[in-house]
Amino acid sequence: MTRTDFDPATVKPDGRPPGQARLFDPAADGPRRGSVEGIALGGAVTVLAYGTDTPGAGPRLHVHPYDETFIVVEGRARFLIGDTTIDAAAGDVLLGPAGVPHRFENLGPGRLQTVDIHHSPRWIQTDLDQD
């Protein structure tokens, strides 16, 4: 299928060079596998990698002043976004709207791996759960 969503002649390069950064080391341990802030690449989004093999494990309840898009790369997860509960599996994409508290957990069995896209050049977060 050929796509022609816009006329390329209407978009002028802004002079930024291409960028590259390493999101995570595949051999590293721990759930927060890594992050790349958009500002490091000259971009508008920050990307995080999260992975855990432990059922029930996941980030604590938190909130951002911007939207967050979640991509489930591997496994199954339960997302709690505001008052909504969504069970998701590999291949699913979810949206956490700005200002809405959210968290997710590994439903198991096996590994949960997500890529989380923060719609901000910097990672800004307030945790709502206490240790």
**84 lies in some domain:** yes
Structural domain range at position 112: 45-131
pLDDT for the residue 64: 95
pTM listed for this prediction? 0.85
Structure tokens at 55: 């059922």
b/e code 22-52 from CB counts within 10 Å (16+ = b):
eebeeeeeebebebbbbeebeeebbbbbbbb
**72 lies in some domain:** yes
pLDDT for the residue 99: 94
The answer to whether residues 76 and 87 touch, using CB atoms and an 8 Å cutoff, is yes
Number of alpha carbons in the 13 Å side-chain half-sphere of residue 125:
18
87-126 pLDDT per residue, tens: 999 999 999 999 999 999 999 999 999 999 999 999 999 9
**129 lies in some domain:** yes
pLDDT for the residue 42: 87
The answer, yes or no, to whether residue 14 has pLDDT greater than 90, is no
pLDDT for the residue 59: 95
33-53 pLDDT per residue, tens: 788 989 888 899 999 999 999
| Higher-pLDDT residue of 73, 11 | 73
Q: What is the mean pLDDT of residues 18-46?
A: 83
pLDDT for the residue 52: 94
**100 lies in some domain:** yes
**Rounded distance, CA 87 to CA 79, Å?**
6
**79 lies in some domain:** yes
Report the number of distinct structural domains present in the chain. 1
Q: For 26, which DSSP code?
A: T
**118 lies in some domain:** yes
The answer to whether residues 101 and 76 touch, using CB atoms and an 8 Å cutoff, is no
pLDDT for the residue 131: 61
* CATH number for the domain harbouring residue 103: 2.60.120.10
**34 lies in some domain:** no
57-91 pLDDT per residue, tens: 999 999 999 999 999 999 999 999 999 999 999 99
**16 lies in some domain:** no
